[in-house]
Amino acid sequence: MSKAEKTKQFIIERTASLFNTKGYTSTSLSDITEATGLTKGSIYGNFENKDEVALEVYKYNAALLGKNMTRSFGSEFPSALDKLYAFVAFYRKNWKIVFSTGGCPLMNAATEADDTFPILKNQVKRSFEEWSKKISGVIQKGQENGELNPAVNAEHHASLFIMLIEGGILLSKTTDSEEYLNLALDRILIIIDQELNIIPS
């Protein structure tokens, strides 16, 4: 990377947790300079404005979450069922990290940018669509190879999983207890075993 690209990446990485914790609109330029140790001139020398920083930080946070989550769908887990179980296990194992960095970046940004930051809202929409596509793709592959119930609507179940996870994160983050996220994940496992599995448990 060039020096300018390295500086931009430095700014993004140093403010990633800040934006996700404090908020994409609430984080000020002074917050950014304090987190990075750079001057306002340096920030504006690399980004057009604060909104551009916020947007790039969101993309970074969402990509990081997506990269970690996608490992559950890798070749390490050969069957569709194994991939779905690993997907649930990812959230079970990593909830502390998610909570300590402000919660789910998709949900945080979606709530905050709904009416005030349309460009960010569109980016969040794409993130949720990509997330849903990954999950439904695993389900569809399992249906094609005879492993999962062919009568199930893969897109609907992918959306349901996302809603359960996001709701569980929201309640657990608000109450400082992983209980609600675990309830959501337990429900997803029941759906996998009783609705998706071709041989229900």
pLDDT at 112: 78
pLDDT (tens digit, 0 to 9) for every residue of the chain, 201 residues total?
A: 788 889 999 999 999 989 988 888 889 999 999 999 999 999 999 999 999 999 999 999 999 888 877 777 777 888 999 999 999 998 888 777 777 777 788 888 888 776 778 888 899 999 999 999 999 999 999 999 999 999 999 999 999 999 999 999 889 888 988 899 999 999 999 999 999 998 765
pLDDT at 104: 82
Compute CA distances 113 → 6, 18, 25, 54, 106, whole Å. 28, 16, 8, 11, 10
d(Cα 136, Cα 3) in Å, to the nearest integer?
40
- Provide the 8-state DSSP code for 147: S
pLDDT at 59: 94
Please tell me the CATH code under which domain 58-196 is placed.
1.10.357.10
Instruction: Using alpha carbons, select from 151, 40, 172 the residue that is nearest to residue 32.
Output: 40
Residue spans per domain, the chain: 58-196
pLDDT at 102: 73
Compute CA distances 56 → 19, 63, 123, whole Å. 11, 10, 10
pLDDT at 200: 60
